Structure 1
């Protein structure tokens, strides 16, 4: 507005010094506007980067929590394995004394503990086993039918931490969605190595509520809107880095995502 006012009244300025002052003022205002533009742009970019860093740190903390859970499970299993020797000794003693009623009661009691802590899934990949068994146990505790198709994954060449990110994010999202279902709860997982490709697909029930903006899937949680989409964003980055591809689809009751990532020399 000041520049327009100066331009309109420039013809009435006869004093040379005043005219120079107006020119200096005009150039100064233009320069200030340009500087302010870049300054605001810089602040906006910095704010975006800070938010992105905060979300990534949140995701890292979530992954660390998963690792801690896995570690605790492994320690529990080691502790249980040490107790097996004593349990077998007790069974042997009851057999020798022919106390079969007590033997039956004892075997029934320890069988429940063994089955609860048993690793149901074995892919010949330690980290994948840990994640899948932890999530399988979580699904059972929440009355979610967990159906999986697996094979030998020992030949995978992907970074192990990236595999954990893929599995934990997809299974966390699937279990969280199933928890919101009032009716049938199910989670179908395919995690296989076929023809040089790592194939990972998840199909799960959900309550029919999705928050999709463009190609981004956002959370429907009111308490977690700041971190919406960060999990799937990490998944997409890993897929792109490993030259893979994915498809997502959904109906009113089911959500589906499938990922294919070439491995080793097959890329």
Structure 2
């Protein structure tokens, strides 16, 4: 604008006015730059806050699930004393036939409350056990293959929680309202690599539209799969996403040397 002919003509005839105009234009541009920078910075902070809120909500829900499981175990342990007292009474009264059905009922109750997955890794045991209960209540077939050395895992509990928690929630949500739904969870250490593989059925009905990019398909929320990728890369690994024959799968591979 300052180099246009009318303005340059003003510079020749009224140089002081031209100088004031030039200073004003530069001031306006400088203010616009500051305002634009503040807007971009605000949007960046807003996005980071949204991600943190999403993760906090995710962690809260997981802690709540663990808390409920712990309460169930404490409740059973509280009742165990009464069960033993009843069985002692049966022995004292020589009612031995009553002990067997009663003990079987206790074992059934224990199996429904106890953490059935016992790999030695608290995160894996908690999340996979919860998945087992969730899948059973929803009629989802679940298959697990958990063969890993807990002493040499290249992923700490924090990133394990993000990766496994998001992937399992993803699989559950993908199987929602699906007939003959199946989930396969494999956690293994082999060939100097640690891998987490979660696959689930994902049948697209005629009324549904297939996603344009399965690499970004997230059945939980906008940040779940992205957080999985970020945690995998932070641990020195990578994430592979596939969809074939109505099976959606995500595999996280981390070298043992990382």
TM-score after normalising by structure 2: 0.84
Partner Cα separation in structure 2 for residue 51 and residue 11 of structure 1: 45
* CA distance in 2: counterparts of 1:151 and 1:85, whole angstroms: 36
| Residue pair 1:162, 1:238 contacting (<8 A) in 2 also | yes
Q: Which residue of 2 aligns with 1:224?
A: none
Please name the residue that 1:237 is paired with. 230
Contact 1:124 1:152 in 2 (8 A): no
Alignment of 1:102-251 (within 5 A): 102-155=98-151, 156-181=153-178, 183-208=179-204, 211=211, 215-219=215-219, 227-228=221-222, 230-251=223-244
The unaligned stretches of length 5 or more in structure 2 are none
- Residues 180, 207 of structure 1: 8 Å contact kept: no
CA distance in 2, matches of 1:152, 1:98: 48
Name the count of aligned residue pairs: 253
TM-score (norm 1): 0.81
1:80 aligned residue: 76
Q: Deviations over 1:187-229 (max 9, x none)?
A: 100012234432100000124366455953345x8xxxxx51x
In the aligned structure 1, how far is the partner of 2:17 from the partner of 2:25? Answer: 12
**Matches of 1:128 and 1:24, distance apart in 2:** 70
SS, match of residue 43 in structure 2? helix
Q: Where does the alignment leave 5 or more consecutive residues of structure 1 unmatched?
A: 222-226
* Aligned residues of 1:177 and 1:205 also touching (Cα < 8 A): yes
Deviation of 1:111 after TM superposition, in Å, equals 3.3
